[in-house]
Amino acid sequence: MVKALILITDGTEEMDTIAYDTLVRAGIDCTSAFVPKGLSPYGSSDTSPALAVCSRQVKILPDVTLDPLDAGPDKYDVLIIPGGMGGAVTMAGSTEVQNLVGAYYNHPEKRIIGMICAGILFILVDRIRGLWSICLQGSKVAITAKLPGQPITSHPSVQSEFPDYFDYKEQSVVVSDAVAGKATLVTSRGPGTAFPFAFTLVELLCGKAKRDEVVGPMIFPTGIGYPF
């Protein structure tokens, strides 16, 4: 059974987590994992409750609290990082999560890393607020510097943050297999592209027929410009 791990924390954009619902419709075994602020080397040491208060105050109870030792690419086929600036900054500031992203990226059995909206800031972690450049150098090398020319997209508000050696696209969803033997990167722009993002993940994980089966009953407007 295909398995997906979706990270969530305080400040996560609730609409970006839509992938959970869509992936379940495709028969994928989904687990949402709360990322406590305490995991960050620079964050507060408070023991945040497992209940995530999202960016617009929707309160979601994740399935588990993130245990980095039980969240790796041996267990899951895809790692999904939603946006919401507050949540993305918390995740990007966590060495455990950074190491997790690196493990998925480098796993010999090709995995998928999905990032949407501000979640794409993960690959820019050294730039966020100027705080991380030294501490996270290792992650930076693993996640950023080894991805020259990698096609990506993100929320437009953070587009200017990307170095020139990224091949920045203004597409709803960008799938990149640019680096042989590494994870497939799936990046997307914002809440408005959350459905196409989820459908792209379903297609990659379960095939086009399954994607079409899932899309049908959801009744998208006719003429929709989603990249189907």
Beta bridge partners of 31: 5
64 lines the binding site for its own copies (CB under 8 A):
no
Q: Quick check: is 54 catalytic?
A: no
Answer yes or no: 107 catalytic: no
Position 57 contacts its own copies (CB under 8 A): yes
DSSP-H helix ranges across 131-180: 137-139
Residue 206 Cβ vs its own copies, minimum distance, rounded to whole Å: 15
Quick check: 206 binds its own copies (CB under 8 A)?
no
Can you read off the two tokens belonging to residue 98? Answer: 């950074």
SS3 state of residue 196 = helix
34 touches its own copies (CB under 8 A): no
The H or E element spanning position 100 is helix 95-106
Given a contact cutoff of 8 angstroms between Cβ atoms, the answer to whether 168 and 160 are in contact is no
Minimum distance from residue 152 beta carbon to its own copies (Å): 14
Closest CA to 114 of 26, 203, 54: 203
Under rule CB under 8 A, which residues in 138-177 are in contact with its own copies? Answer: 155-157, 172
Where in the sequence numbering do the catalytic residues fall? 117, 155
List contacts with its own copies (CB under 8 A).
13-15, 17-18, 20-21, 24-25, 30, 32, 51, 54-63, 155-157, 172, 189-193, 195-196, 215, 217-227
